Amino acid sequence: MLNELSDNTEHKILEAAKTVFIKEGMKGARMQEIATEAGINKSLLHYYFRTKEKLFAAVFQFAFKAFIPKIDEILGPGLSLHERFSRFANAYTEILIDNPFIPLFVLHEINRHPEIIYKLVQQVGTKPKLLEEIITDEIKKGVIKPVDPKQVIINMISLCVFPIIARPIILPLIFEDDQKKYRKFLEDRKTEIADFIFNSIKVQ
């Protein structure tokens, strides 16, 4: 039972740390707040994770993985480009709706310490080149115009991520604080984004 208990506490701590760090950022987060959120005291927190840095590193790694989509999984084999765009936008938008604070958290921290990305990129093992090749092939096949694949990829991710991280501005400024409208808007995007991109680059 020893291990079960410890796992339990460690798990509680990690969940609490996610909540607090992702909301407040590294500098904004307080160890006491994390302890309280986890229902334990500060000493125990330091017993499990010696320092704030170590705890942060654990949370950041989790967040980074959640933010960088595992493209290869989403882009299953034997699909048309439009279908692939559609699946990507759909899956990624859903991830982001469920974890709306992760992108900003990751971007904010990575801006403060751009170096940390190098360790993470390997661990995550995402392959943007894969998507790039798919797009290049479709150009050769004459399905889409000769566009820069990098532009298309960044467009796709931009269109998925930004509406989520800009919610506190978009909601009052565009949707007059009507959460339902905003929610519907995001829901629509699951299909709109793929159509939008495909329409733009397809050969008519």
Partner DNA sequence: ATTACCTTTGACCATATGGTTAAATTAAAT
Partner DNA sequence: ATTTAATTTAACCATATGGTCAAAGGTAAT
Does position 192 interact with its own copies (CB under 8 A)? The reply is: yes
Does position 72 interact with its own copies (CB under 8 A)? The reply is: no
Size of the site for DNA (CB under 7 A): 21
Instruction: Give the shortest CB-105-to-its own copies separation in angstroms.
Output: 9
Query: DSSP assignment of the chain, as one string?
Result: -HHHHHHHHHHHHHHHHHHHHHHHHHHH--HHHHHHHHTS-HHHHHHHSSSHHHHHHHHHHHHHHHHS--HHHHS-SS--HHHHHHHHHHHHHHHHHHSTTHHHHHHHHHHH-GGGHHHHHHHHT--HHHHHHHHHHHHHHTSB-S--HHHHHHHHHHHHHHHHHTHHHHHHHHHTT-HHHHHHHHHHHHHHHHHHHHHHHB--
Does position 81 interact with its own copies (CB under 8 A)? The reply is: no
Does position 11 interact with DNA (CB under 7 A)? The reply is: no
Q: Quick one: which of 126, 134, 136, 143 contacts its own copies (CB under 8 A)?
A: 126
Does position 158 interact with its own copies (CB under 8 A)? The reply is: yes
Q: Please identify, using beta-carbon distances, which residue of 34 and 153 lies nearer to DNA.
A: 34
Stretch that binds DNA, among 45-53, 131-139, 148-156, 179-187 (CB under 7 A): 45-53
Q: Which residues pair with 202 in a beta bridge?
A: 144
Q: Please identify, using beta-carbon distances, which residue of 39 and 172 lies nearer to DNA.
A: 39
Does position 30 interact with DNA (CB under 7 A)? The reply is: yes
Does position 159 interact with its own copies (CB under 8 A)? The reply is: yes
Q: Quick one: which of 79, 130, 166, 203 contacts its own copies (CB under 8 A)?
A: 166
Q: Please identify, using beta-carbon distances, which residue of 95 and 157 lies nearer to its own copies.
A: 157
